[in-house]
Amino acid sequence: MHHSIVLFDFDGTLADTFETGAALINEFASRFGYKTIDFAKKRNLSARELVRLSGVKWWQIPRLVRFFRRESARNANNIHPCRGVPEMIKNIAQSVDLGILTTNTTHAVECFLQNHNLESYFGYVKTGVPLFGKTRALRRAVRQLQKTHTLILYVGDEIRDIEACHAAGVEIISVSWGFNAHEVLADKNPSVAKSADELEQIIARRIEA
C-alpha cells in the first residue's frame, strides 16, 4: 500500500477542456443574460472574478453549473488529455496512489478515463463537487484518505484550487497549462509546473522528501 496519494482536478489539469468549455459558456450568454468573456485573455482572473465580470448573479450559479454539466456530458467522448498527461499518470502510479476530485460529472470523467485507458490508475474519484465547494470536498477527502495515507497532494490549474487547498490544509501543486496563467498561480503558490514532465519531477521530489 502506498503512503502517498495525489488527487487531480479534471478540467484543465488532466483533460484539455479549456477552449471547448469557454466556447460553450459564451454560446449561451444571450440565453441566460450574462456577458461573453474572452477567457484566453483573462487567465489572470479567478473564477469568482470572472463571475462578477460576466454579470452572472450568485443565485444563478447552481442552475448554470447543472446546465453546463449536462451540455458538456454530450461531448464527453471527445475530451482529450492535456499534453503528456497519460504518460505522466502511468509513471507516477508506480509510486503513489491516484485520485480525482472535480466539479465535472461522473459520466465525463468515466468516458475520459475509459477512452484513454486510464481507468485502472485512479482508486479515488469524487465528481460533482459544487463550483465553490471544493474546500468542503477536500476536507471530506482528507478525513477518508488520511486513514491510509500519510501524504495527500492536490494538483489543479486554478486560483480556486489554491484557495480551497489552503483552506482545507492540503498541499497543492499548480499546473499552468489550464485555466489560469503561470504568473498568477505562482504569485499564490510557489509550486507550479509548466509541463507534465515537470509535474512528474515535482511529485517525485515531494514524496521522497
Catalytic residue set: 9
Residues 6+ apart with CB under 8 A from 70: none
Q: How many CA atoms lie within 13 A of 53 on its CB side?
A: 15
Place of cell 483552506: 167
Q: How far apart are CA 176 and CA 136, in angstroms?
A: 24
Helix, strand, or coil here: 151? strand
Residues 6+ apart with CB under 8 A from 38: none
Beta bridge pairs of residue 15: 11, 81
Q: How far apart are CA 128 and CA 46, in angstroms?
A: 20
Spatial contact of 27 and 20, defined as CB atoms under 8 Å apart:
no
Place of cell 453546463: 68
- 170 closest CA partner among 128, 142, 196, 206: 142
Q: How far apart are CA 49 and CA 43, in angstroms?
A: 11
